[in-house]
Amino acid sequence: MLLTVEISISEGLPTIAQTSELAESGDDDVPEPSLLQAWANAAYLGNSPAIASIRVASVDEIQQLNKQYRAKDKATNVLSFPMLSPEEIAAPLNMRLLGDIVLCASVINREAKQQSKKENTHWAHMVVHGMLHLQGFDHIKNEQAEVMEQLEIKILDQLGFQNPYK
């Protein structure tokens, strides 16, 4: 495995396996860490060992990060923080340091319902989206957005998910 993903989940957020099979999925339910890992691996385009972290955050936590780093005082679905470290740090580790992805369970699950998508479909899209940001892809300009969206569509298709933009 080329990509190592460190996963942390905010205290109190349950994984889907921890909720009752009969109960409706809650707003804060989180996919199993093994799924988050698999989706991140699928979106890693490099061919040298790398490490990334995924943090599943509460609404308050992601809103604070969004306000602090993007000057937007609202919760969002995903934030990406690419690692900006000198080569001399990564070289001895023999590993590329990608950075951090922060996902908000409540926002992602709410958006999935609003967009009539299965939750895992939207979660996979957000993980892939965040991973591509860590690798230098962006969607600020139309040309960049087209490249990034086509990569997302391709990766999600390989994972068995439909085009998230339809």
Q: Per residue in 38-49, pLDDT tens?
A: 999 999 999 889
H helix or E strand, kind and range, residue 127: helix 119-134
| Residue 102 domain flag | yes
Cα separation, 25 vs 132, in Å, equals 28
| Residue 165 domain flag | no
| Residue 38 domain flag | yes
| Residue 166 domain flag | no
Token reading at 121: 């479909």
Give the tens place of pLDDT for each residue, 100-145. 999 999 999 999 999 999 999 999 999 999 999 999 999 999 999 9
Torsion of CA 134, 140, 144, 149, to 10 degrees: 70
Residue 8 pLDDT grade (very low, low, confident, very high; cuts 50, 70, 90): confident
Q: Which CATH number covers residue 54?
A: 3.40.390.30
| Residue 97 domain flag | yes
Give the count of domains, the chain.
1
Residue among 66, 124, 83, 78 at smallest CA distance from 103: 78
Total-model pTM:
0.88
Domain residues for 140? 3-158
| Residue 39 domain flag | yes
| Residue 19 domain flag | yes
Top pLDDT among 154 and 96 is at 154
| Residue 164 domain flag | no
